[in-house]
Structure formats: structure tokens, C-alpha cells
Amino acid sequence: MTKDKILIIGASGQIGTELVIKLRSMYGNINVIASDVKNASDEVMKSGPYEVLDVMNESRLHEVVKRHGITQIYLLAALLSATAEKNMELGWALNMRSLSHVLDQARFGNVKKVYWPSSIAVFGSTTPQINTSQHTIMEPNTVYGITKQAGERWCEYYHQKFNIDVRSLRYPGLISWKTHPGGGTTDYAVQIFHQALKDGEYESFLTEDTTLPMMYMPDAVRATIELMEAPSENLKIRSSYNVAGISFNPKEISEAIKAYIPKFKITYNTDERQAIANTWPKSIDDSEAQKDWGWKHHFDLDALTKDMLLNLKNKYN
């Protein structure tokens, strides 16, 4: 039994959909409150408490936190890279203000622990792209990346100034079958599986050799929970930890799919997301995460491909 009460903000999104279910299995269904501006999956809605919550509304956030006696918040609501380029004001406002609102719930003593995701988008075109290290040049070139970098500084500031226990990961592109990602540059690596099963072909909006760091959702959920469960004194980094899974490009993932669907065809037709991808790392050095809280990814490209195709096939049937 635990006394923790957890609030997930952004429970209908790609990460929230799976994190809520995992946390409910660990902490008990009634102790994990899902929230979003729109309804979450049936699995989330039916397995425990749900609140309609717009995190931009600070008094409503405070009311939900108080009423449920929330001790931990996972803030997953955000505008991703491609969407934020199309709506820069909303990207800045949502990504920054949501974090301030949540950190202030901790600053004013209502909440003990906060999780907030950063991204490989904190890096930019001047960052060394191979095995990008934890501490390196960070000059992000996108609205999303700028909010993630500012957010990291904000997290570290709150930790140093107010002793807030805030924890964060720089997620690579996340691949999952339960929920679609919402408007990112790495979305191709999810769409490609759906198209492979539906049409047997996919038109990639990134070139065949655009290598990016990626991770399968079970690894991402496990990384998140392992970080949140780690003893506070072990965590040396309060901005955000580099975490690595696998790196591949559209050509390599299409070859992996062909091993299961030999007739699968990929074509290429780039759009504005190519320019974003060009500024991001190709691979990530996560030795600090390994050292501080024992991180290690499990899924390689073949294991991920096999699992995605199996689950999506079941879903489509």
C-alpha cells in the first residue's frame, strides 16, 4: 500500500495512455488520477478516476490537486515539434505555463514530486550529432526545442532554489501502437507500421538516411518509472537526463518491416519536418542515466518491429 496520489496531466496522449495503466497497476487504480482536456482511451477511462483538466487553468489545477490530495504530478501535456512550428504562440504558452503551474503546486507545498518530459529537441544544429553527450552545446532551432530547453532550466532552478523534487528525461522519438503521437517530427516511425499493415506502402516525409534516436514505448514507460522511483540523492541531474534506445533511419526501419512484410514499399517525399530533423542528434550518450539510476534499454529495432506489427495486426482485426 502507498500513500501516494498521482495526477497524470495529458492522459489521452501517446505517453499518458500507457503510463496511466502502468502506474495504476503499481499504485492501485484509485490512486492514479488521469486528466486531460479530452477523454482518454476506454482502458484509461474505465480503470480509474478521470478529471477534465486544462492545465492552463491554474485555479482548476489547484482545486483538483487539493481535492484528491495529490502528492505526485506527471505533466505530459505539450505541443510537439511540428505542431508548435505552426502555432508558435500556443506552443510557447502551453509548454511553458503548464510547467510553471505544476512546479508551483510543488513550491507551495501541495505536491512532493514532479515529472516533466524534455526531448532530443533541446539540441540544435550546432550540437555534435553522434553520441550527443549530456552536457554539450544546446542551441535549439524550433519553438518546441526552445520551450524544452527553457523548461529544463526552470526545473533545475526550482530544484536548486526551492528544493523541489523534479525529475525529467530527454525522450527520443517514441514508438507505440496504442495511441498515435500528436504532431512530432519522429511520427513517421509510427505511421510507417500502420501504413505497412493497411496499404503495404508508406511515403516518408524524411529522407532515407535521416537517422534519429528512437525508443519503444515499453522502454520509455519503464525509464520514466525507474527515474521516478530512484532515491532522490542518486539523481545528480535536475535539468533532464539523456536516455538512449536505438537509432535508425527510414530506410533501416523499412528493411526491418520487410523482414515480416516482404512486399512492403517505401517512397520518399520530404516536407518541413526534414529541416527540424536535420538539427537533431543521430545518437545519444546516456552514460549519466546508466550511472545514476541504472538505465538500460531492452528493445532493439527487430524486437520493436515484431512487437509493433503483432499488436497492430490484432488491433486492426
Q: Mind telling me the catalytic residues?
A: 144
Q: Could you say whether residue 78 binds ligand SER (CB under 6 A)?
A: no
Q: Could you say whether residue 190 binds ligand SER (CB under 6 A)?
A: no
Q: Could you say whether residue 8 binds ligand SER (CB under 6 A)?
A: no
The Cα–Cα gap between 45 and 33 comes to 10
On whether the CB atoms of residues 110 and 66 are closer than 8 A, the answer is yes
By beta-carbon proximity to ligand SER, the closer residue of 71 and 186 is: 186
Instruction: Give whole-number Cα distances, 196 to 130, 170, 187, 215, 306, in Å.
Output: 30, 29, 14, 19, 13
Q: Could you say whether residue 91 binds ligand SER (CB under 6 A)?
A: no
- Residues contacting residue 289 through CB under 8 Å, at least 6 positions apart: 169, 223, 227, 241, 242, 243, 295
By beta-carbon proximity to ligand SER, the closer residue of 185 and 239 is: 185
Q: Could you say whether residue 80 binds ligand SER (CB under 6 A)?
A: yes
With contacts defined by CB under 6 A, name the span among 119-127, 220-228, 262-270, 289-297 that binds ligand SER. Answer: 119-127
Closest CA to 192 of 248, 144, 129: 248
The Cα–Cα gap between 269 and 204 comes to 6
Q: Which residues pair with residue 50 across a beta bridge?
A: 34
The residue nearest ligand SER at its CB is 184
On whether the CB atoms of residues 185 and 81 are closer than 8 A, the answer is yes
Q: Could you say whether residue 173 binds ligand SER (CB under 6 A)?
A: yes
Please report how close the Cβ of residue 240 comes to ligand SER at its closest, in angstroms: 11
Please report how close the Cβ of residue 191 comes to ligand SER at its closest, in angstroms: 12
Parallel, antiparallel, or unpaired: how do β-strands 246-248 and 212-216 relate?
antiparallel
With contacts defined by CB under 6 A, name the span among 1-9, 115-123, 203-211, 301-309 that binds ligand SER. Answer: 115-123
By beta-carbon proximity to ligand SER, the closer residue of 180 and 258 is: 180
Dump strand ranges (E) for the chain: 6-9, 32-36, 50-52, 72-75, 113-115, 118-119, 165-167, 169-171, 173-175, 201-204, 212-216, 241-242, 246-248, 265-268
120-139 residues near ligand SER, rule: CB under 6 A: 120-121
With contacts defined by CB under 6 A, name the span among 68-76, 108-116, 131-139, 184-192 that binds ligand SER. Answer: 184-192
Please report how close the Cβ of residue 67 comes to ligand SER at its closest, in angstroms: 32
Q: Could you say whether residue 16 binds ligand SER (CB under 6 A)?
A: no
Q: Which residues pair with residue 230 across a beta bridge?
A: none
Q: State the DSSP H helix or E strand holding residue 313, giving kind and residue range, or none if neither.
A: helix 301-316
Q: Could you say whether residue 81 binds ligand SER (CB under 6 A)?
A: yes
Q: Could you say whether residue 119 binds ligand SER (CB under 6 A)?
A: yes
With contacts defined by CB under 6 A, name the span among 27-35, 90-98, 116-124, 198-206 that binds ligand SER. Answer: 116-124
Q: Could you say whether residue 184 binds ligand SER (CB under 6 A)?
A: yes
Q: Could you say whether residue 186 binds ligand SER (CB under 6 A)?
A: yes
Q: Give residue 10's Cα distance to chain centre.
A: 11
Binding site for ligand SER (CB under 6 A): 80-81, 119-121, 144, 171, 173, 184-186
